[in-house]
Amino acid sequence: MLLRTTRSQQRKIRRTRLLQQTTSRKICSLHQIRGHSIQPHTRLVRTYGTLEKEGIIFSSIHSALANNPDLARSHFTKAIPPDDDKFAALNNAFFTAGTFLYVPKGLNIKIPFRNIVLLKTRHRAAFTHNIIVAEENSKVNFLQEAYSKLDPGEQGSALYSEVTEVYLGEDAEVNFASLQNFEGDVHSTLNRRCVAQKDSRMNWTIGHIGGGTTRSRVESVLNGPGASAEDVEIVFGSESQRVDAVTDLTHRSTNTTGHVLARGVLRDSARTIFKGMIRIEEGAKNSNSYLAEHAMIFSKKARADAIPGLEIMTNEVKATHSGSVSQVDEEQIFYLMSRGLSQSEAQRMIIIGFLHPAVQRIPLRSVRAAIQYLIEEKWLGRGGQIPPSPEQLPEFEEEPEKESVSSDLFERHYKYR
């Protein structure tokens, strides 16, 4: 019997075959823990029974699309469509893994869900697509960690591509933390975007510590009245590392609040570019937004660029930005050395002090401790390390919680009122 297929069906068949060929390769190990799940080279995900009974879904993206098609497809590629940019299109064409997290209305989950990505093979690419859905009046903490353990006896690089979409219902809160400490031969492209409805709160914490070349795009879209977003990004670049970090705030409704603070430390011949944009659209009166990008250079060959921007399309708003690139103050180093510290210890203390305004705004203590650990390990020449479990990490500092955080000097001087 002759079966006839349309061109669209033929394209689907070719795509299915391509995915089957791609998933047959051991591209990477993906472990998802604290749901609970572990999945090396598999799509197996297990969630605690108590969470399942509450209606929480924590599964692979493929499992969600198969078992909860209406829920998953109603959010899939809605915040970040494939034509958003070329890297989003590439990810959409080849993604073979990812996480789907759904938190029903009214649930407050204090224990963080952890998604651990471990790349182990050179000359391979890992494409992941993550979706987080927090329904009305819910709260969830999501921690993503990305590491690599490549064979030192081989040559070649690896690629990690990620798309993450976050959807917040009314009065929902999502704390999303990402720690990336790849080895130098791993390059990554990251596209992340949240869509926040009325009175919801989105908190991003992103640490770019390792890797070769990192391209990061983060945008917070404040759709509902009273929605807020805070984004803290920390970069520590060394050797020939490259970090291209773009952070945008888009205000689409009234009384919305946005705050972005990016800080970077660079040494050797590392380079970074901080670029951000505050967009306040016509219907977003009484919005309050701030964008700060600051970098410190520890070497003559290192380079940093800070390019903040504003697009204000209405009146009765508060918006400002600040950006700076400075070299380490030799007088500060001399003073600390005169008090008995070595040059390396003095520089380390200056780094910790420079990054402290960003670190203190991180809502999760375990993430603060992990970032501090990774920074100190890299400063000692032990980059690409996997940190111990959060319980084994010392607290970075016994400091007041986020409500007592001091504001930036420039934050009190608005360019637009």
Asked if residue 221 has pLDDT above 70, the reply is yes
Listed residue (408, 375, 364) closest to 114, CA to CA: 364
Three-state secondary structure call for residue 332? helix
Q: What average pLDDT does the chain have?
A: 86
pLDDT in tens, 364-390: 888 988 998 999 889 888 888 788 776
pLDDT band of 269, cuts 50, 70, 90: very high
Ranked by mean pLDDT, which of 34-38, 45-49, 139-143, 386-390 comes out on top? 139-143
CA distance 283 to 392: 48
What pLDDT does 388 receive?
Answer: 79
Residues whose CB is less than 8 angstroms from the CB of residue 53 and which lie 6 or more positions away in sequence, other chains included: none
What's the pLDDT at 49?
66
Mean pLDDT, residues 326-345 taken together: 94
Give residue 410's pLDDT.
Answer: 56
pLDDT at 279: 98
Confidence of residue 391 (pLDDT cuts 50, 70, 90): low
Q: Which residue has the higher pLDDT, 159 or 51?
A: 159
CA 30 and chain centroid, separation: 17
* Cα distance between residue 246 and residue 70, in whole Å: 32
Residue 241, φ and ψ in degrees, nearest 5: -65, 145
Average pLDDT over residues 264-286: 97
Length of the chain: 417
Residue 47 confidence (pLDDT): 56
Q: Is 123 exposed, middle or buried (0-12, 13-18, 19+ CB in 10 A)?
A: exposed
**pLDDT number for residue 408:** 59
- Statement: residue 395 has pLDDT above 60: no
The token duo for 84 is 């958003």
Q: Output the pLDDT for position 287.
A: 97
DSSP letter string, 193-249:
EEEE-TT-EEEEEEEE-S-SEEEEEEEEEE-STT-EEEEEEEEEE-TT-EEEEEEEE
The token pair at 234 is 């920390």
Identity of residue 155: Q
**Rounded Cα–Cα distance for residues 88 and 215 (Å):** 12
Residue 22 pLDDT class (50, 70, 90 cuts): very low
Q: Taking 90 as the threshold, does the pLDDT of residue 409 lie above it?
A: no
The whole-number pLDDT of residue 18 equals 36
pLDDT of residue 403 exceeding 90, the answer is no
State the sign of the Cα–Cα–Cα–Cα dihedral 84, 86, 91, 92: positive
pLDDT of residue 415: 57
Burial label for 58, CB within 10 Å (0-12, 13-18, 19+), is buried
**What pLDDT shows up at residue 402?**
44
- Name the pLDDT band for 216 (thresholds 50, 70, 90): very high
| pLDDT score recorded for residue 323 | 95
Residues 10, 11, 14, 16, CA torsion sign: negative
What is the tens place of the pLDDT at every residue in 233-243? 999 999 999 99
pLDDT at residue 310 greater than cutoff 70: yes
Residue 27 has pLDDT above 80, yes or no: no
Least confident residue range of 198-212, 256-270, 271-285, 348-362: 348-362
Residue pair 237/210 in contact by the 8 Å Cβ criterion: no
In the 8-state DSSP scheme, what is residue 44? -
- How does pLDDT run across 101-160, given as a tens digit for each residue? 999 999 999 889 999 999 999 999 999 999 999 999 999 999 999 999 999 989 999 999
**If you average pLDDT over residues 291-310, what whole number do you get?**
96
- Average pLDDT estimate for 284-288: 97
What per-residue confidence (pLDDT) applies to 137? 98
320 DSSP assignment: E
The count of C-alpha atoms lying within 13 angstroms of the C-alpha of 269, restricted to the half-sphere facing its C-beta, is 3
Map tokens 């990620």 to a residue. Answer: 162
| Residue among 240, 385, 217, 354 nearest 303 (CA) | 240
**Are the beta carbons of 271 and 304 closer than 8 angstroms?**
yes
**pLDDT tens, 128-144?**
999 999 999 999 999 99
Across the range 311-327, mean pLDDT stands at: 95
